[in-house]
Each structure stands twice: as structure tokens, then as C-alpha cells.
């Protein structure tokens, strides 16, 4: 009788071990598959731009921020791989540094920690929401929410959260740009909705303004920004792989190194 009880107890213990261990193992495999899928999603997004070395594009922008009046402005934006940025304009250009420029390599899965959040619908299409945490220690952005969808798959929307509390939600539309024998999917319009933390002082705007501009670097800033505002950008006259010289970007590099 005692032997039978011991045998039954052994079977119960083995059954419990199997019951507990199987779900854990399955969860671990699921997590591994999800991580692999996330890497593949963002690798597929940047793959079409692997041969993009630089670009120049003209923009027209409208700024609608309460208490901050300025006329519509035009500017030329310059980008060189991997992450060099430059702007030329005759006026103040309040463009969020992590949102107004198109950087096709911004969310490289080798340089960011990316996790899947949930499946969502945007404008009637299926999309996925990801959380992206920059790997660079010097970035002013704490994390991004990034919505991916469409065919071909692309970034439909992103929202950056700065350490100082500013948020910028960017909704993008794209167009095909033909350059010789190549065809590139590039932004056509961007709507940037900015939310400022309460009582944000002018010196705090450095967390989102592009530095490569004498006005954005210190002159003509509003004394205080708070609440919410919008920036509308239209892109045109894309010129890709023209061989931009590194000297064009020296001013922004000097500005970056002198800013704490």
C-alpha cells in the first residue's frame, strides 16, 4: 500500500514538472521568435536604402504653435550617411531634430533596442506598434513609439519622447522618387504634432530644435513654450547620391560638440 502511494506521488510530481516546464519553454521560444521577427521587420525597412549615401531636398513648412508667431518658411535639408544633417534657410527653422529630417537608418535594429508592442489599425490598414530605445548614450530621446505598415512596409508614424518631457508625433506620407535607373520611396509630407511640458523655458527647446542654424542655435527663440502645436512640412525636388562633401556638415558638427 505504501509502495502504491509512493508511485502515485512520483507520477503527480513528474506531471506537475511537465505541466510547469512546457509553457515556460513555449514562452521562451515565442519570445525568441518575436525578437527575430522584430529584427527582420526593421532590417527589411532599411534594406531598400542601403545604397543611399546622401540626399538634398527642399521643404516648405508651416508652424502653428500657440504664442509663437512666424511666417511659413522654406529650407534646404542635407543628409549624408550614416547620420550627418545640415539645414540652410534664411529664417528661423524650428524643425524637431529627431522628427523633421528623414533618416532611413534611424531605427537600425543593430543600434537600437526594439520591442513589439501590439497590432493596431491606422487609417483602415493593419499596422504594428513597436517601442524603440536608442542605443546611443548622447541622444536626448528617451524612446520612440513607431508604427509600421503598408505595402511595401514602411514607417507610417512615430512619436519621440524626450528626457525633458517634449513629445513629437510625426505622421508621414510617401511618394516614389525616380533618380536615373533607381526608384526610392521618400517622404512627401510630414505632420508633426508637438506637446510641450508645462512651463518649458527657451533653453529647453534644444531638445528638439535643429542646431545647424544661427537662429535655432540661440537667437529669436520664444521665451516660453507650452501646450501643443503643429508643424506641417512638404518635401520636393529630391536629389539622391550627388556626392555631398563632408565640409558641408562641419558647422553642425562644431555646434554639436560645443553643446552640453
Report whether 143 contacts 125 (CB < 8 A). no
The pTM of the full predicted model, rounded to 2 decimals, is 0.76
Residue 39 domain-assigned? no
Query: With 80 as the cut, is the pLDDT of residue 82 above it?
Result: yes
* CB crowding 107-123: b at 16 or more within 10 Å, else e: bbbeebebeeeeeeebe
Strand ranges across the sheet with 73-80: 84-88, 73-80, 54-64, 224-240, 182-201, 167-179, 154-162, 141-149, 125-134, 112-122
Residue 8 domain-assigned? no
Dist CA 144 CA 99 (whole Å): 11
Residue 3 domain-assigned? no
Residue 96 domain-assigned? yes
Residue 1 domain-assigned? no
Residue 14 domain-assigned? no
Q: Please count the CA atoms within 13 angstroms of the CA of 206 that sit on its side-chain side.
A: 13
| pLDDT mean over 20-48 | 65
Report whether 20 contacts 208 (CB < 8 A). no
Dist CA 213 CA 216 (whole Å): 5
Residue 29 domain-assigned? no
Query: With 60 as the cut, is the pLDDT of residue 119 above it?
Result: yes
Residue 254 domain-assigned? yes
- The x, y and z cell numbers of residue 17, run together, are 514538472
Please write the tens of the pLDDT for every residue from 160-183. Answer: 998 888 899 999 999 999 988 899
The region of weakest confidence among 75-89, 92-106, 113-127 is 92-106
| pLDDT mean over 112-122 | 94
Q: Return the pLDDT at 65.
A: 83
Specify the number of domains making up the chain: 1
Q: Return the pLDDT at 165.
A: 85
Q: Which domain holds residue 130?
A: 44-258
Please write the tens of the pLDDT for every residue from 177-225. Answer: 998 889 999 999 999 999 988 765 544 444 445 444 433 433 334 445 5
CATH of the domain at 213: 2.50.20
Amino acid at each position: 500500500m505504501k509502495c502504491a502511494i509512493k508511485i502515485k506521488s512520483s507520477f503527480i510530481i513528474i506531471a506537475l514538472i511537465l505541466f510547469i516546464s512546457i509553457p515556460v519553454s513555449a514562452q521562451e521560444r515565442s519570445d525568441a521568435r518575436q525578437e527575430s521577427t522584430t529584427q527582420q521587420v526593421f532590417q527589411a525597412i532599411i534594406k531598400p536604402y542601403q545604397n543611399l549615401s546622401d540626399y538634398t531636398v527642399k521643404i516648405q513648412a508651416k508652424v502653428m504653435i500657440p504664442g509663437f508667431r512666424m511666417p511659413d518658411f522654406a529650407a534646404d535639408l542635407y543628409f549624408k550617411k550614416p547620420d550627418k544633417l545640415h539645414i540652410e534657410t534664411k529664417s528661423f527653422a524650428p524643425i524637431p531634430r529627431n522628427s523633421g529630417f528623414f533618416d532611413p537608418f534611424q531605427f537600425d535594429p543593430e543600434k537600437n533596442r526594439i520591442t513589439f508592442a501590439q497590432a493596431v489599425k491606422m487609417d483602415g490598414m493593419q499596422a504594428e506598434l513597436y517601442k524603440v530605445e536608442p542605443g546611443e548614450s548622447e541622444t536626448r530621446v528617451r524612446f520612440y513609439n513607431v508604427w509600421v505598415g503598408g505595402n511595401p512596409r514602411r514607417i507610417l508614424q512615430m512619436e519621440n519622447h524626450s528626457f525633458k518631457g517634449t513629445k513629437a508625433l510625426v505622421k508621414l506620407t510617401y511618394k516614389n522618387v525616380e533618380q536615373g535607373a533607381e526608384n526610392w520611396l521618400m517622404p512627401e509630407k510630414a505632420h508633426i504634432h508637438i506637446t510641450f511640458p508645462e512651463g518649458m523655458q527657451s533653453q529647453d527647446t534644444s531638445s528638439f530644435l535643429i542646431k545647424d542654424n544661427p537662429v535655432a542655435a540661440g537667437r529669436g527663440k520664444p521665451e516660453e513654450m507650452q501646450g501643443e502645436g503643429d508643424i506641417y512640412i512638404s518635401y520636393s525636388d529630391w536629389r539622391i547620391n550627388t556626392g555631398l562633401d563632408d565640409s558641408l556638415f562641419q558647422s553642425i558638427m562644431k555646434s554639436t560638440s560645443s553643446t552640453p
